[in-house]
Structure 1
Amino acid sequence: MPLDQDKPLNSLGFAKDPSETRVVVAMSGGVDSSVVAAMLAEEGYDVVGVTLQLYDHGAALAKQGACCAGLDIHDARRVAETMGFPHYVLDYENVFKDAVIDEFADSYLGGATPVPCIRCNERVKFKDLLETAKDLEADCMATGHYIQRLSGSEGPELHSAADAARDQSYFLFSTTREQLSYLRFPLGHLPTKDETRALAAKYGLSVADKPDSQDICFVPNGDYASVIRKLRPEAAAPGDIVDTAGTVLAQHDGVINYTIGQRRGLGIGGLSDPLYVVKLDADSRQVVVGPKSMLATRSVPVREINWLGDAPFDSQPEWHLAVKVRSTRPPTDAILRPLSATTATVELVAAEEGVSPGQACVFYDRDSSRIFGGGWIHKG
């Protein structure tokens, strides 16, 4: 249907009535996406709720707060029934395993510290689900992420959420320009999560008081090792804990039990200075330890860059921005030196500890809330 240019834009940015605007809402079963669906339904939009069943593992049927499985699918369905819009569940278990879980295991065993939530958004939710939304002839797809999509002179821009404590920009840096034109994030402007829960209560949603999920969805209780042990049994093989000179200090029961920067639980006593895990070598089954100073770095190699700036990434020799090298760290000043359109060396103005391959390096404007994309940290 052609847009009526004389009509004002609706809240999703289309020049037509909400009732003529179809929006697919990605529903995880949590309070955030449930509120998005209810809010848009109340505004009169043609809402279609879609939930992806990403994994089961049997036990997930009884586990609450585990995005996209078991009870959460049931909760999403109840919200749709309450608000009176259609809801579909799509079985994406095989896609999720191939695109996210297998890489998570291989990356972890390669000594990296992977962030599977980013890959899930990139390869499943904002790729396959987005294409499903287009197949359903939706005008756009909405999610419950805390991030903002604002109009700029060169098109839509990605901006941090109004509530810095809830901001999810680190996990969404790989959102492309094309995807951004189709996506909507109705919660990004809310000042606090309390506002979201108040809306859930207003709409009478059963998930109003549901706790937030804290774990990676397929890693119950944060126990990475047990998941990888099932996926890659060979990773539990014992080996040596060595110092940087190769001297054996102790034995371990599998590299999967260690992460870069770890200090506790190494089983090394009698030393004057504390030691930290500085490297994991899965091939030789070695956990390498060293002084804390070895964890600090200023030079970070980055690849698979998704650039959201107005000018091409490699159009100038360097960019002065702020970057996040871990989701829990605040942005820090850095100089980005492009090596190509998708690779760069990032020089941190102040050294950071625990910069690990497998983590994301996300680019932020130092003077505004805008996000300029990011890339993946690698070993170089």
Structure 2
Amino acid sequence: MNDAATFDFTALAGRRVAVAMSGGVDSSVVAALAAEAGCDVVGVTLQLYDSGATAARPGACCAGADIRDARAVAARLGIAHYVVDMEARFRKAVIEAFADSYARGQTPVPCVECNKTVKFTDLLELAQGLGAEALLTGHYVQRIMGPGGAELHRGLDPAKDQSYFLWTTTRAQLDYLRFPLGGLAKAAVRREAERFGLSVAAKPDSQDICFVGGGDYAAIVEKLRPELAMPGDIVDQAGRRLGGHNGVHRFTVGQRRGLDIGGHAEPLYVIGLDAAANRVIAGPRSALAVAAARLEGANPLGSLDGEVMVKVRSLAAPAAARWEGDMLTFAMPLLGVAPGQAAVAYRGSRVIGGATIGKTIPVSML
């Protein structure tokens, strides 16, 4: 029995399925497993950006060498493979939205927007147009059938769980999607890649923000919105000037590094951004404590209202909270919560929905 025996391909055997192939080890293993199970596999790779134009680093996805890797894997497996140019769509829906979010003083999560628009809307429609009965991806999440239909659950390996980035997935999309790797650890997936003799078996994992080279997101923002590179003031909570900055987009709530301020008895952090006034608001660490958040654009995958466990960052530990309408109240104050981030709610391992944080309410305002 191989490592991937946790996913049952029985219902898909002999049927056409589409596999989203990014050129990485995860999606390549999904394609190999589906082919081994007797599925009629069609691999689809989206070209999302010009890696030269965006200076994306090695280990990114959906450009250049990654497309060549996906082609090579498809050729080894003997499956059909298509490359679809989605650069214009990705630029508008993800990269420009990323820049606009920073321009508003927010902290965006571009992987959420990519999954919401390009991957689980455009790619899904493309898969259906190819006659596929399901779209398979390499995401580390689980699709489990419940009393009301397909449910989205955390990946079994907590170190690789990607459920935080998939909260915008709709119930209709879940009916069509499959996630064969959700019950596996990464080490098991690499063993499968070696078993199939795939050239990508040892390829590094892709980075969260695939189009940002060297981690310098500010350079991408300034390239798209050069007007943001404008000097402004760093002020305290009372509005008194403490220093200067070279663009609000270079700061996020909770940040300490980069604040050019001296002569204070305690360290200062970014506690707020006033993009309209081009001001960065600094204060002590205690001022970062957030008691509640007002939410926007909720996507319910279950009954959201009531007691939940919630994540406000992909790597954050779930925190107890109460979800009521568009208000999320934390059982204990949280640090590092910023507008633009996603709040994703869980009951047990199930994702019951999520929303974008529109406004935070500090403990001091209650």
Q: TM-score range by the shorter chain?
A: over 0.9
Distance in 1 separating the partners of 2:297 and 2:239 = 33
Query: What does the per-residue CA deviation read over 1:336-370, in whole Å, with 9 as the maximum and x for residues that have no partner?
Result: 112xxxxx1011101100111111000100xx311
Query: Which residue does 2:352 correspond to in 1?
Result: 372
Query: Which residue does 1:101 correspond to in 2?
Result: 95
Does the aligned pair in 1 maintain the 2:54–2:220 contact within 8 Å? no
Query: Which residue does 1:4 correspond to in 2?
Result: none
Query: What does the per-residue CA deviation read over 1:170-224, in whole Å, with 9 as the maximum and x for residues that have no partner?
Result: 000111000000000000011x210000000000101000011224011112111
1:248 equivalent in alignment to 2:235: no
Query: Do the aligned partners of residues 348 and 57 (structure 1) sit closer, same or farther apart at CA in structure 2, a change above 3 Å counting?
Result: same
Query: What does the per-residue CA deviation read over 1:86-138, in whole Å, with 9 as the maximum and x for residues that have no partner?
Result: 11110001111111111110111111100000000001100000000000010
Query: Which residue does 2:139 correspond to in 1?
Result: 145
Q: Select 1:360's aligned residue among 334, 342, 347.
A: 342
Q: Select 1:72's aligned residue among 66, 75, 96.
A: 66
Task: Return the letter of the residue paired with 1:11.
Answer: D
Q: Select 1:123's aligned residue among 117, 124, 136.
A: 117
Task: Return the letter of the residue paired with 1:358.
Answer: G
Residues 184-195 of structure 1 aligned to structure 2 (within 5 Å): 184-190=178-184, 192-195=185-188
Task: Return the letter of the residue paired with 2:25.
Answer: V
Distance in 2 separating the partners of 1:379 and 1:234 = 25
Query: Which residue does 1:324 correspond to in 2?
Result: 311
Query: Which residue does 2:363 correspond to in 1?
Result: none
Does the aligned pair in 2 maintain the 1:322–1:364 contact within 8 Å? yes
Q: Select 2:328's aligned residue among 346, 356, 368.
A: 346
**Cα drift, residue 371 of structure 1:** 1.1
Distance in 1 separating the partners of 2:234 and 2:61 = 36
Task: Return the letter of the residue paired with 1:346.
Answer: L
**Cα drift, residue 256 of structure 1:** 2.1
Does the aligned pair in 2 maintain the 1:63–1:71 contact within 8 Å? no
What is the total number of aligned residue pairs between the two structures?
Answer: 354
Distance in 2 separating the partners of 1:201 and 1:244 = 56
Does the aligned pair in 2 maintain the 1:62–1:70 contact within 8 Å? no
Distance in 2 separating the partners of 1:52 and 1:101 = 15
Q: Select 2:218's aligned residue among 225, 234, 240.
A: 225
Task: Return the letter of the residue paired with 1:369.
Answer: S
Describe the SS at the equivalent of 2:124: helix
Query: Which residue does 1:11 correspond to in 2?
Result: 8
Query: Which residue does 2:3 correspond to in 1?
Result: none
Distance in 2 separating the partners of 1:345 and 1:218 = 33
- Structure 1: any 5+ residue segments left out of the alignment? 1-9, 339-343
Query: Which residue does 1:308 correspond to in 2?
Result: 301
Distance in 2 separating the partners of 1:12 and 1:138 = 14
1:270 equivalent in alignment to 2:257: no
CA RMSD after TM alignment: 1.6
Distance in 1 separating the partners of 2:208 and 2:295 = 26
Describe the SS at the equivalent of 2:194: helix
Does the aligned pair in 1 maintain the 2:30–2:137 contact within 8 Å? yes
Query: Which residue does 1:24 correspond to in 2?
Result: 18
Describe the SS at the equivalent of 2:115: helix
Query: Which residue does 1:206 correspond to in 2?
Result: 199
Residues 17-96 of structure 1 aligned to structure 2 (within 5 Å): 18-19=13-14, 21-58=15-52, 63-96=57-90
Structure with the bigger RCO (C-alpha within 8 Å, sep 6+) is 2
Does the aligned pair in 2 maintain the 1:215–1:222 contact within 8 Å? no
Distance in 1 separating the partners of 2:27 and 2:79 = 14
Runs of 4+ in 1 over 3 A off after TM superposition: 59-63
Task: Return the letter of the residue paired with 2:181.
Answer: L
Identity of aligned residues (%): 56
Give the TM-score taking structure 2 as reference length. Answer: 0.94
Describe the SS at the equivalent of 1:208: coil
Does the aligned pair in 2 maintain the 1:26–1:51 contact within 8 Å? yes
**Cα drift, residue 54 of structure 1:** 0.6
Does the aligned pair in 1 maintain the 2:56–2:213 contact within 8 Å? no
**Cα drift, residue 282 of structure 1:** 2.2
**Cα drift, residue 258 of structure 1:** 1.4
Query: What does the per-residue CA deviation read over 1:41-79, in whole Å, with 9 as the maximum and x for residues that have no partner?
Result: 111110000010111052569853111111111111100
Query: Do the aligned partners of residues 61 and 231 (structure 1) sit closer, same or farther apart at CA in structure 2, a change above 3 Å counting?
Result: closer
Query: Which residue does 1:3 correspond to in 2?
Result: none
Query: Which residue does 1:216 correspond to in 2?
Result: 209
- Structure 2: any 5+ residue segments left out of the alignment? 1-6, 361-366
Q: Select 2:150's aligned residue among 153, 156, 178.
A: 156
